[in-house]
Structure 1
């Protein structure tokens, strides 16, 4: 793609000021921005004490494969820190490595997202329900929460982390474990991005290409109409006409996971569906067929492939799709961007990713046993 034209120093400063002000206004327009001076998200506030200790316990649980039914999968199996808290696959894999029909959503800036899951079926305040579903679902971890509690009681490192978080008098409980996992997940990827630094006055944070992309994002390309607020999402449901991923119907496991999804949500004829209907599966409204929740753009450069079914491998492909006006029955309109403008938008999107410090699984230990006479 052609390189963006260089911007003179004085013009560059004016461009930063005008575009930054426009973008900041767009970020705050939805009411989702944390504040006019600090658009970066922060972990959700909690009335529970010992927040750092709860996050530390959540980290131990996040990497603990014994939360799953057969001890083979942890939360990090799909939400790997070195892959932007996603898995780097077009379509995720679940319990026993079985194929699934959707892309793994990233946990980056989870605290700022107004809706959860690709079809938007959970509002943000129901994060605990998502945690419960992911542990219990036979498609994901196939765990039993009461058994998980017993395992925590018998694993010395987890029991010690629990006592630091909730006190020695508080016995391990389902609510506490879910709360700790939610606290940890909400704390991921909240560091400032280059775009945040630019909005705070750092004139060196963005390249000329990213600055041009910022202007297009707010203006000609119209991205900010849906990608607004602290997490760069309006939390709405939209139909873009994203093409189906043919792998879903080629792989029997993925097909079965799709049909099971419809059966669980009460579809009238779940066995007849051969496409991902998006929000319509849970709203039961024909008007929502093909509508999916607007994803956050924070960390987007770290979480390829893209869209609900991972059908696009690169950000350039995503921008080209939007430039064409999306796919069949799309709400989008063609943008008329040239190659330089598309490249500039990609540069801006790449500047929306925070630094992620290296993170590895904590050491695990064996179950404690009670000897004779104890």
Structure 2
């Protein structure tokens, strides 16, 4: 066990700020090390104490961007600053207990050789410890704390996030020992993306598409799927139906790795939430900063430019909601977004998409900033300029 302790995150690898993909036995060994460290501090003959849990800080102050040496993909990474979960602090005593409860449940799940969805884990913990887990958010944060403590991926813990994603178009999926799925002959709902990353990692992918188009809205995805856009424009359409889940990000990353010359465009709302979604696909998120590099892709924003807004009637705009303003403030304070603003703004001008980005990030500061309504977006799409330049230009 001493060897495990020396080789684990509690020893030599504290220099590394990334989450490893580990076998169940290794994850269970790391949990055992955490327990031994806790008991050792508690049983100290000189100064017994309840040890704190040292977690990598998941805050904007502790994050930045790193670039890949082998590609033009950048991703969020977390530096070496730590935060602590302590039983002795009133404001995070419950969070301290939640970490141990989640580790206990994961230890049991891994021992049984199973995987559970995050929602299923919530119900298990709600039944077992209702005092500490009253909502899904408590479980989600505790899982991220465990990832930060043990330095292993969520999937390595035996936990799957529920997937909302779907894809359709010029893509054939072939899982070993299963029939292949031709995504070009599916209905408008497309192929549902499984939340099991192990299954997604084993898929054989083949495609004759020229583009990958990621859509924020499921309604737009289904509209384009019904129109069989991919028969006119050889492409793969993919959506997470809102904010991207891990499984959708994972399969998009796999597509980018399998077809490195296939450009990826994101069709998102012209508002702060749309930019946040784009950045999650492109760079990852701070909350999952230890894993972000595993899912980051070179995604470009497909849509309008600020100069194009004069073509849109005032009736097509809506006032931003308080939640949008909150997201805008968060984006403006983000160090990595300020660093990467020029690359975020890169991408083709496409008339009629109904979505877009003003040049630069100044539009986020505009109190009068508004978003384009979806109905108007569809109308604009229907009357798109036939002289629209090729997206590859």
Q: TM-score, normalised by structure 2?
A: 0.20
User: TM-score by structure 1 length?
Assistant: 0.21
Give the strand-richer structure, 1 or 2. Answer: 2
